[in-house]
Amino acid sequence: MNKTVNQKAWFLVLPVLLLVAFSAVIPLMTVVNYAFQDTFGNNKFFWAGLDWFQEMLESERMWSALGRQIAFSAIILAIEIPLGVFIALNMPKKGFWASFCLVLMSLPLLIPWNVVGTIWQIFGRVDIGLLGYTLDAIGVDYNYTQDFYAAWITVIVMDVWHWTSLVALLAYAGLQSIPDAYYQAAKIDQAGRWKVFRFIELPKIMGVLMIAILLRFMDSFMIYTEPFVVTGGGPGNSTTFLSIDLVKMALGQFDLGPAAAFSIMYYLVILLVSYVFYTVMTNLDKRDGH
């Protein structure tokens, strides 16, 4: 077949190009700019090549922040995904209580990040917080400002509290879309509860679950506000995740070059993981097909 060549068609993509340029490419390029240059002030820059990247790749500080970040994302995914699915499975399917549960579940999602941080920061305080005070009163040694484990547990519980709803709501939507006939057929075939989950519910919600995992991964991998408000990255560096470390480096120490190089690598990691997820997701349906 002959294709018609019409160069004017380029004008049709121009608005999108402009939009993307201003919203993404140009801001990103300023970061790229910093990543390859150095300055001693007076707005004079000189070429630094890959020095900043090399420095960051050899930086103990960045690797340990990355390690904490991966551990954090892995832990909250391992808790939120199964817990969210479990909650979705046990939510009422229709009637007043279904709506009630939906509203209840969406409440945490409506609270701004820094408010969530503040809530837990106060909630966990040993002197005035309900949680901290109670734990202290029953003899549990809990102090998130001093104890590594207490800090981690607080941050993780906070994230689970804030975001499990999202997983639950997505899984719930997936479950609601399964036609009744599947459950009826399973009864006829005498499949037990586990088999119903394994062979009907899980395959049917796999699509939305992948989206939930992707969203939760990206969000948790970029987490900043909540742990920063609660622990400020401490005690020591124990809850200093990548974003927190990056902000410290860029705005605290004003090391713009290394911070920019770091940002780009950070961005590439997220892009890579998201791409892998996307590929897996789109192939999920085709996998056993033709």
d(CA 203, CA 242): 34
95 binds other proteins (CB under 8 A): no
d(CA 240, CA 176): 39
Q: What letter represents residue 35's amino acid?
A: A
Minimum gap (Å) between residue 65 Cβ and other proteins:
39
Q: What letter represents residue 289's amino acid?
A: G
d(CA 62, CA 273): 19
283 binds other proteins (CB under 8 A): no
96 binds other proteins (CB under 8 A): no
**Contact yes or no for 146/187 (Cβ under 8 A):** no
Binds other proteins by CB under 8 A, chosen from 191, 210, 215, 281: 191
∠ CA 97-99-102, nearest 5°, is: 105
Tell me the longest C-alpha to C-alpha distance in the chain. 81
Give whichever of 99 and 187 is closer to other proteins, judged by the CB atom.
187
179 binds other proteins (CB under 8 A): yes
Minimum gap (Å) between residue 203 Cβ and other proteins:
5
Task: Count the site residues for other proteins by CB under 8 A.
Answer: 22
Binds other proteins by CB under 8 A, chosen from 110, 128, 188, 254: 188
Put residue 154 in one of left, alpha, beta given phi > 0 → left and psi -120 to 50 → alpha. alpha
Binds other proteins by CB under 8 A, chosen from 184, 253, 279, 283: 184
Binds other proteins by CB under 8 A, chosen from 199, 207, 237, 269: 199
- Residues in touch with other proteins (CB under 8 A): 179, 181-182, 184-185, 187-192, 195, 199-200, 203-204, 285-290
